[in-house]
């Protein structure tokens, strides 16, 4: 079993929809949680970064962490065609150095 599981999609939504992207993980030691966005043929870029449980909002993006369920989510409100990309979740432990990535969810927002 992988440390981080992510539904690969693909996910296709109409412009303006609310998008929900999710990851589950198995290691309760993970404390730092990140979402990266990767456009086609580009490197991943950091979108959101949270520590431990709770919510974090940045514009149209909201990241949620539920450590009791080992479940993290990224919500995109008022989705735009420019949001079309692959979204990867990542996490790491309080100690130790390795980042664990999900395989990514491909999102297409249709105008």
- Residues of the shown chain interacting with another protein in the complex, contacts defined by CB under 8 A: 32, 34, 36, 42-46, 49, 88, 92, 94, 97-99, 101-104
Please provide the distance, in angstroms rounded to a whole number, between the alpha carbons at the two ends of the chain: 37
Minimum distance, C-beta of residue 106 to another protein, in the bound complex (Å): 11
Least spacing, CB of residue 49 vs another protein, in Å: 6
Q: How far is the CB of 66 from another protein (least distance, A)?
A: 21
Comparing CB distances to another protein, the nearer of 43 and 59 is: 43
Q: Which is nearer to another protein, 69 or 98 (CB)?
A: 98
């Amino acid at each position: 079993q992988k440390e981080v599981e992510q539904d690969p999609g693909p996910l296709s939504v109409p412009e303006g929809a609310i998008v929900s992207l999710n990851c589950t993980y198995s290691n309760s030691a993970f404390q730092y949680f990140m979402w990266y966005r990767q456009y086609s043929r580009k490197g991943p870029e950091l979108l959101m970064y949270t520590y431990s449980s709770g919510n974090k909002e940045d514009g149209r993006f909201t990241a949620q962490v539920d450590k009791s369920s080992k479940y993290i989510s990224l919500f995109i409100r008022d989705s735009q065609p420019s949001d079309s990309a692959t979204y990867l979740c990542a996490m790491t432990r309080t100690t130790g150095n390795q980042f664990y990535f999900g395989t990514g969810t491909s999102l297409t927002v249709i105008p």
